[in-house]
Amino acid sequence: MIDLSARIGDLELTTPIVAASGTYGYGLEYDGLVDWSRLGGISVKGLSAEPSVGHPAPRMVETPGGMLNAIGLQNVGAEVFLRDKLPKLRSIAAHGPRIIINCWGNTTEDFVRIVERLEGIEGIDVLELNLSCPHKHEWGGVLAADAGVTAAVVTAVRARTKQRLWVKLSPNVTDITEIARAAEAAGADALTVMNTVRGMVIDVEKRRPALANGSGGLSGPAIRPVAVYMVWQAVGAVAIPVVGAGGISSGRDAAEFLMAGASACQVGTASLYDPAAPVRIAEELAKVLAGLGESRVQDIIGCARRPV
């Protein structure tokens, strides 16, 4: 038997594999398709205080080794989520997965509003601040590209919630360690590293960008080496846990992130073509561990950082 149990601070997970925000809907869409007891957590579609329609179509385009998206953080808003989505999520969580609410706003005040609305709500295990969407024009740039802005938002939110607080960081930066330290100092309990890489695809026949938004976020296997490096850098810079994300599509991929020092992993794009991907990857990770002669996932976390 392989022990896949994981810990992110004081939060225990049945496995280190979490369904990433933006690719798993509100989790409800996958009910009946996966064994919830084999999933560590669900990070729901990015939630704002008010409903958001996102960007116009086309919003997704396939690329070699991945995809580009500019959904624009479309979501139903806090009130509809709490009324229509969370009750069912609570029943799913009874089978094991932790519920992570990825949330965002266009201003610091917006971030505070959504966090205050979610404070004290039963069934929420973590708030994950999305400061790293690469295609929100309203932000005037990626929030997590600026250490000062990151610190200001996290500080404001930390003062309004007692909930576990993760901060999702961006690869679209010069030095992720500076941003990671700023988030930690402002009160983050953990970091999610990383979000998508800013990019563009041109439709040659139409002679214009393939996405209506112009640019979008690149995800999928193509970005995995970038993500592993970003995790490696962040883990070395902070004392709080790091959750790795970016291009994970197999148990072996997940093992890379864990060996780099991540405490857990998020699976995103793979879920779009394989609804059971997070559970499958957890099962594959167990086989990878067995092949390495290990019986606990905890024993490989950060092992690549240890002296030979």
What are the tens digits of pLDDT across the range 135-167? 998 899 999 999 999 999 999 999 999 999 999
* Distance separating alpha carbons of residues 300 and 285, to the nearest angstrom: 11
How far is CA 132 from each of CA 15, 179, 196, rounded to the nearest angstrom? Answer: 25, 11, 8
pLDDT band at 308 (very low <50, low <70, confident <90, very high): confident
| Residue-range domain boundaries for the chain | 6-305
Question: What does the pLDDT read at residue 293?
Answer: 98
Q: Residue written as tokens 């690869």?
A: 171
Q: Which of 229, 257, 223 is nearest to 243 (CA)?
A: 257
DSSP calls for 80-95: HIIIIIHHHHHHHHTT
pLDDT-above-70 percentage for the chain: 100
Q: Which amino acids are annotated catalytic?
A: 133
What are the tens digits of pLDDT across the range 251-282? 999 999 999 999 999 999 999 999 999 999 99
Q: Say yes or no to pLDDT of 73 above 90.
A: yes
CATH of domain 6-305: 3.20.20.70
* Distance separating alpha carbons of residues 105 and 77, to the nearest angstrom: 11
How many Cβ atoms are within 10 Å of 108's Cβ, its own excluded? 16
Q: Say yes or no to pLDDT of 244 above 90.
A: yes
Tokens representing residue 88 in the block: 């069912």
Q: Rounded to 10 degrees, what is the CA torsion of 111, 114, 117, 121?
A: -100
Do residues 146 and 107 touch, judged by C-beta distance below 8 A? Answer: no
Do residues 47 and 81 touch, judged by C-beta distance below 8 A? Answer: yes
The average confidence (pLDDT) of the chain is 97
| C-alpha angle 71-35-272 in degrees, rounded to nearest 5 | 25
Q: Say yes or no to pLDDT of 306 above 90.
A: yes
Question: What does the pLDDT read at residue 4?
Answer: 98
